[in-house]
A and B are shown apart, each in its own frame.
Chain A
Amino acid sequence: MSRTEVFLDTFFNAAVMRQYLPDIIDGFFVTCQIAILVVVSGLGLGLVLAIVRSFRISAINAPLIVFVDVLRSLPPLVLILILYFGLPNIGVLLSGYIVLWLVLTLVLAAFAEEIFWAGILSVNAGQWQAARSTGMGYLQTLIYVILPQAVRLTIAPLTNRTIAITKNTALGMVIGVGELLNQATTAQSFAGNATPMMMATVAYLILFVPVVYLGRWIETRFAWKHA
């Protein structure tokens, strides 16, 4: 076989493609599902934590800041391994799917809290005073006046961070979650051929290139500026 033939046979083998396409599609949907769940729960929890932090109760904020810092400092894979292999020993059995979702949610929440909090801080103090003087309560001011401005400021850094953490769904491979990368490596070792891995790469491009472009568009549209 010529070099080109070897290359095509290794990475674009039609027979292998046909055989493993269903597996790759299954994995693709599992990846999408976890990604969506993580984005919703992570951003939601992050926003709640930022709101809690804005009350400035030090008994709550001190542990909150430690939690956020720890989750921002640790590699997500370390947390995944601790929960997946450690918890069963104390009688808590969580599936790989749940562990992956939980860890990525907590990590995204930590980063999102920091970003939302920076956004809240960057809204001019005059906005608070003006809103409060019209008779709005604290929460009303936060929800109707401050957050709409703060969230707008945070959109660009938040999108980038969210994309980076969503790509970590691939870590599910290490704990046997049937997501895209796992399906591809399993198929690759059964087929003795790298085509499934190439299919997974293409699937990742289909999934994330539009998201990267969306992120880039958002970045120019809502550049991080002072309010």
Chain B
Amino acid sequence: MSSASNSSTLRHVLPNGMVALIRRNPGAPTVSVRGELRVGAALEPPELGGLAVFTGAALTRGAGERSFHQIVAETEGLGCSVSAGGGTQASGFSGKALAEDLPLILEILADMLIRPTFPAAEVERLRGQFLTGLRESEQDTGYRASIAARAMLYPPGHPFSRPSSGSLDSVAAITRDDLARFHRRYHPALSSIAVVGDIDPPAVVAELERHFARWQPDAPPEPVSIPDAPHLVGVRRDDIAMPGKVQADLIWAVHGLRRSAPDYYGAMIANMILGQLGMGGRLGEQVREEQGMAYYCYSDFEADLGAGPWVAAAGVSPENIERAAQAILAEIELFRQEGPTDEELDDARDYLTGSLVIGLETSDGIAGSLLGIERHGLGLDYIERYPAIIAAVDRDQVHAAAQKYLSTESYVLSVAGPV
């Protein structure tokens, strides 16, 4: 149980290990609550794929003394909302309310995390919705290309090799007991909660103590850990034919890096220049602006607890698939060889530091940033230090990251689209 504060953020650790980050933002009479648990699909057995996502979504379906009806009637009656969901590396929960209604939101979120009831009828309804969602995903070209790329990038059994939403078979097999059992992995020592808005921080600490201190699981915490994947050698390709479609989604992918990697900032800026800045960086400039081949072409990576994929993606008409793939590979190779120009580096650094105030404008934005800072142990002064961190990233670091991670010799390519 300790509290620390930096400028305006109060960090308070509950006796059970839950970390609270509280910040007053009086810009609007509202409050945002966002939280996470480092428990996710990485911990579920593959045959029960979708279990973490299912468990997270089921938390609103009944908790404490409240039924699903009561939860939605009480919250929505006040124009507020609570939600929860699972992902591969973490599960999340959130609430949004007028500031006056924060106590209700915290009470219900605490019940959702500590005392979910998983009513059998609600579990079945949720299952039906998930199955429809999966059927829709299976006919989505972007989703199909993405899971095909992951299946080639990571070996079977690796948490990143499969979608966190599971499959039609695995979701059909999950029982109510599986949900309750998975929920036992939820642990305060693996959780953090950010509360930001027109609030009084000490009063919020008292409310959090009141609602969350009773969270005392028997088992010790077991956090998610993501293994490294074996090196990719050579080119693997998967073409998926989907009847009725008119456009194909194309994904090039390699292994990225963990957020804790020492070259994270170099890689992050490399990604911005390659496929983010402006209308999709160099990739957008070449594939969209110069060649007019696609409405979107960009790159992105998932650098979190594990090293997720680093992808370049485009939506193209079927006759342009090979041309677009060649154009993407050519841009990647050029960037690998030459690295960024000084001008590009200045663009990226100026954007990252300049736009900081925009990302921190809303309470949701601030709460999300605080959770990220906590997850990666960056320290409460991270936002103040950030401009100096970015200013210190030089051309060589960006070039080195591009050379280390990007490849035109060993990569996977997936294409999902018209037959």
Does chain A bind chain B? no
B interface with A by C-beta (< 8 Å)? none
